[in-house]
Amino acid sequence: MLGFLIQRLLQAVVVMMVISALVFIGVFAVGNPIDVLISPDVTQQIRLDTIAAYGFDKPLWEQYLAFLERLVHGNFGRSFVFNMPVLQLILSRLPATLELTIAAVAGATLIGIPLGMYAGYRPDSPITKAIMGITILGFSVPTFWIGLVLIMTFAVWLGWLPAGGRGDTVMVLGIEWSFLTLNGLSHLFLPALNLSLFKLAMMIRLARAGTREVMLTDTIKFARASGQSDGTILRRHVLRQISIPIVTVFGLEFGSTLAFAVVTETIFSWPGLGKLIIDSIQSLDRPVMVAYLMLIAFLFIIINFLVDIAYAALDPRLRARRS
Amino acid sequence: MIDSAAPIARFWFEFRQSQIACVALLIIVLIAALALLSPWIAPQNPYDLATLVLMDARRPPGHVGAGGYVYWLGTDAQGRDLLSAILYGLRISVQIGLAAGAVAFVVGATLGTTAAFLGGRVEMLIMRFIDLQLSFPAILLALVLSALLGQGKVQIIIALVTAQYAYFARTAHGAASAERAKEYVEAALSTPLPSHKVIFRHILPNCLPPLIVVATVQVANSIALEATLSFLGLGLPVTEPSLGTLIANGFQYMLSGRYWISIYPGVALIVLIVAINLVGDQIRDQLNPRLRR
């Protein structure tokens, strides 16, 4: 197990290096960063000074090494727009995004797995047909469009829920959370629903495919023969066996949900990371863009790492082979 | 018995068994025709500023305009007839989806089959890179690229291709690795044919079925992705509005109850995407050897 961990950690470091190089080339080498940093009517002297200060006159690989050094020290520079350290800016926005993402993924899992297991258990019932119809819509209809329809229906026509913002927040452990107040919850509901629909469709499909496969195995035949009820079989045997692929997808999808939060946050004016990155792309705030990309890459690598470990922990066959 | 010498006829015969897929295909053909013919059938040229009447801005569906003309789907903030705007928007969305899907197909299939053919270090390097890219969400990649490249048709197609070619490459690599080991490839290699001919004439045609399935899904995805980027203000400029741009333009008026500016272009977008996905589902079921009777 230890060897496996070390091997995976080394892999993660290599991947992180490759990504940092790509991000560096993508954001710094394309276009001229100096045009963004200073206004076009400054004197030639100020221009040269700024170039020297940021090291743009040095060869690209030297710039890259300096960039890496700054990254390792946690120094992402200052945001041009907010005029504060980028790391601080991102950390202040992170809780809002995490709250939204966790609510969406948890909701999708808690609703999707039972629905999917039912669909796999009774493949021909009309309810299953309806469930599968919903998943096609969930896969096909773009997130931003569902968001618009939700706002239209629940905020404009019915007036039940607010159309945007985070609502009242409560400070716990020095971080503001929405889900602890009633008003905050009402603000959280629509964006979380919007973000979760795609994941819900995916969870249903996965749970259904897994259940259909497992129901045909000898394990289930023996469980039936021993007189266990179908409910017990589904809970005790089927759920346990389909949990491995679901945990994998859960982990991987958590990352892509963070990415899709960009769209949902923009529509619902949710003050999280996604809205920050869209705003900084529009205002060409490069330090924020770089920091966001590196952070997302880092999160993805961590998630992949954790999924691998969870895999090993959940599947006794894999555990035995590795030890 | 259906002759196996006519695989396309057999494919079509099976396809017609599914009513849903047939209706979806009909809708796609209809939308493609509308998109192709939009300059001739649209009641108004939405980009000809001379025909726009600002007095008729933001009118609800069915409004009779100053010129006695009925706006069946209402008008937008500039007094543009929404029906015409949607027809022109469809044209742009379909163009971009097809172009991005086709380029991604060519790039991805070439990379994937070449990697499988060459094997060794080159294969490992290419596939590692593609796996790495696949572990990132396509939307983020497209978002960053279109932010770096700026607005415009070519730029958005480049962004979409970069975000999506990896799916084709992955699929092509899987199929080509299986074909590579077969005897007919050995036979082709023993002749003095150059390797690119073996790859493109012999291996690639046998990898087509799974690639076609990926292609239908990816065309739908690139239309959706382009609409999302345009909605976020990173896709097409306002001078060339796709369906996503139209929806974005209407978004600010939605909170005041003027739903039609956003909703109708959205309905057009969704009908198109759902229809493509339904046809794609049917093709996948038909080409999947595990489901073959």
Q: Per the structure, how many domains does chain B have?
A: 1
Instruction: Work out the average pLDDT over B35-52.
Output: 72
* Inside any domain, residue A256: yes
* Cβ-Cβ contacts under 8 Å, B270 against chain A: 140-142, 145
Residue A235 in domain: yes
CATH classification of the domain holding B265 = 1.10.3720.10
- Contact A148/B227, CB-based, under 8 Å? no
The reported pTM is: 0.79
DSSP state at residue B4: T
Asked, for residue B46, whether it belongs to a domain, the answer is yes
Q: Residue A227: which domain range?
A: 93-269
Q: How confident is the model at residue A148 (pLDDT cuts 50, 70, 90)?
A: confident
Going by pLDDT thresholds of 50, 70 and 90, the confidence category of residue B108 is: very high
> Mean pLDDT across chain B, nearest whole number?
80
Asked whether residue B146 is domain-assigned, the answer is yes
Domain-embedded: residue B17: no
Residue A142 distance to chain B (closest CA, Å): 6
User: pLDDT of A253-285, one tens digit each?
Assistant: 777 787 778 888 888 888 888 888 888 877 777
How many angstroms separate the CA atoms of A99 and A93, rounded?
A: 11
Give strand ranges (E) for B34-100: 63-64, 70-71
Instruction: Say if A152 is an interface residue toward chain B (CB within 8 Å).
Output: yes
Answer with the residue of higher pLDDT: A218 or B102: B102
DSSP string, B169-237: HHHHHHHHHHHHTSHHHHHHHHTT--HHHIIIIIIHHHHHHHHHHHHHHHHHHHHHHHHHHHHTTSSS-
Mean pLDDT, residues A175-191 taken together: 73
**Residue at A140 is within a domain:** yes
Do residue A262 and residue B254 have CB atoms under 8 angstroms apart? Answer: no
Q: What value does the mean pLDDT take over residues A202-218?
A: 83
Residues in chain A within 8 Å Cβ distance of B230: none
User: Would you say residue A61 lies in a domain?
Assistant: no
Can you give the pLDDT at residue B71?
64
3-state DSSP call for residue A78? strand
**A197: confidence class by pLDDT, cuts 50, 70, 90:** confident
The DSSP code for A158 is: S
Number of domains in chain A: 1
pLDDT of residue B2: 46
In a domain, A138, yes or no: yes
Q: Which residue has the higher pLDDT, B192 or A168?
A: B192
CB contact A261 to B (< 8 Å): no
Domain assignment of residue B15, yes or no: no
Residues A305, A8 contacting (CB under 8 angstroms)? yes
Nearest to A281 among B227, B234, B274 (CB): B234
CATH assignment at residue A224? 1.10.3720.10
**Residue in A27, A282, A300 closest to B136 by CB:** A300
What gap in Å lies between CA B59 and CA A187, rounded to an integer?
Answer: 31
| Residue contact B139–A262, C-beta within 8 A | yes
In a domain, B279, yes or no: yes
Query: Looking at residue B105, what is its pLDDT?
Result: 93
A71 within some domain = no
Task: Let me know if residue A168 belongs to a domain.
Answer: yes
pLDDT for res B293: 44
Looking at residues B258-285, what average pLDDT do you find?
Answer: 84
User: What per-residue confidence (pLDDT) applies to B66?
Assistant: 60
| Domain span including residue B93 | 30-291
Which residue among A15, A152, A266 places its CB closest to the CB of B232?
A: A266
DSSP state of A85: B
pLDDT at A11: 78
| Residue B5 included in any domain | no
Q: What letter does residue A73 receive in the DSSP assignment? A: T
Range from A36-50, A137-151, B31-45, B220-234 carrying the lowest mean pLDDT:
A36-50
Which ipTM did the prediction report?
A: 0.76
pLDDT band at B101 (very low <50, low <70, confident <90, very high): very high
Q: Contact, A248 vs A311, CB < 8 A?
A: yes
pLDDT, residue A154, reads: 82
How far is the alpha carbon of B247 from chain A, nearest alpha carbon, in Å?
8
pLDDT in tens, B159-213: 889 888 999 998 888 888 888 888 888 888 888 888 888 888 888 888 888 888 8
What phi and psi, each to the nearest 5 degrees, are found at residue B20? -60, -45
